[in-house]
Amino acid sequence: MLRRTALLASIGCILATGAFAQSTPMPTISTRVRGTAAAITTDMLTVATRDGTQFQVKLNQPVTVTALKQMSIDEIQPGSSLAIVSKPGTDDLEALSVTYFPPGAALRQGQFPWDLPNTTMTNAAVSGNVTGKSGREIDLSFNGRSGKVTIPPGTPLVTQIPASLTDIKPGVTVLLFAAKGDDGTFSTARVTVGKDGVNPAS
């Protein structure tokens, strides 16, 4: 059974849909920014956030832009990793959304508080095949623990795909992690953008 671990204050390798994750280390994270793009230049992004404010973020070059693609549960392979958004306080997880990372992608394992209401993020390795009577349960392991996640029908299940700065247009949904500099400004080298009807949770 998955047990709740000590909650981490920062996330070094995840971007989700809910969440998001990445295969290379990020700077120290200070702010997770969700919303819609209000303005974009080659080196600055302004985000209209959920609370009605506008958040300016410097784009460190070269900036990496990713989008999300829907996938099916039968594409999940042992040895891959999942970033799972679920309700907190549970041992075995019932997913609210899942981001898939293929075998070989680095994902910091653990459980973290998430910024969507009443949610926890769990980063775990897939340790077995899809199982269970419904065919929608997956064996997991993280930090020496084991458990399962159930992915109900209709749950968003996505993987990251390459995108570009030209995909970031006013009005599209974006998610990013911004590091705060000594001068008080925020910057990022990675943005996830909504594309082809598949959006990061906003």
- What is the pLDDT at residue 102? 93
- What is the pLDDT at residue 20? 37
CATH code for the domain of 167: 2.40.50
- Whether the pLDDT of residue 28 is over 70: the answer is no
Has residue 4 been placed in a domain? no
Has residue 60 been placed in a domain? yes
Token pair 């709740």 in the structure block, residue:
4
Give the confidence band of 118 by pLDDT, cuts at 50, 70, 90: confident
- Whether the pLDDT of residue 6 is over 60: the answer is no
- Whether the pLDDT of residue 85 is over 70: the answer is yes
Shared domain for 55 and 116, answered yes or no, is no
Cα gap 127→141, rounded to integer Å:
6
Shared domain for 46 and 19, answered yes or no, is yes
Instruction: Tell me the per-residue pLDDT of 149-182, one tens digit each, with 9 for 90 and over.
Output: 999 999 999 999 999 999 999 999 999 999 999 9
Residue (of 22, 17, 123, 99) closest to 65 by Cα position: 22
Has residue 8 been placed in a domain? no
More confident residue, 113 or 186: 186
Give the confidence band of 136 by pLDDT, cuts at 50, 70, 90: confident
Has residue 80 been placed in a domain? yes
The two structure tokens encoding residue 57: 């973020």
Shared domain for 80 and 151, answered yes or no, is yes
Shared domain for 99 and 130, answered yes or no, is yes
Has residue 9 been placed in a domain? no
More confident residue, 157 or 18: 157
Residue 193 in contact with residue 167, Cβ under 8 Å?
Answer: yes
Shared domain for 128 and 99, answered yes or no, is yes
**What's the structural domain count of the chain?**
2
- Whether the pLDDT of residue 125 is over 70: the answer is yes
User: Which range (11-15, 30-34, 39-43, 190-194) has the least confidence?
Assistant: 11-15
Residue (of 13, 17, 32, 21) closest to 157 by Cα position: 17
Has residue 200 been placed in a domain? no
Shared domain for 165 and 135, answered yes or no, is no
Shared domain for 101 and 149, answered yes or no, is yes
Domain, as residue range, for 116:
71-156
- What is the pLDDT at residue 53? 94
Shared domain for 118 and 77, answered yes or no, is yes
Cα gap 164→16, rounded to integer Å:
18
Shared domain for 32 and 61, answered yes or no, is yes
Q: pTM of the entire structure? A: 0.78
- Whether the pLDDT of residue 72 is over 60: the answer is yes
Shared domain for 106 and 151, answered yes or no, is yes
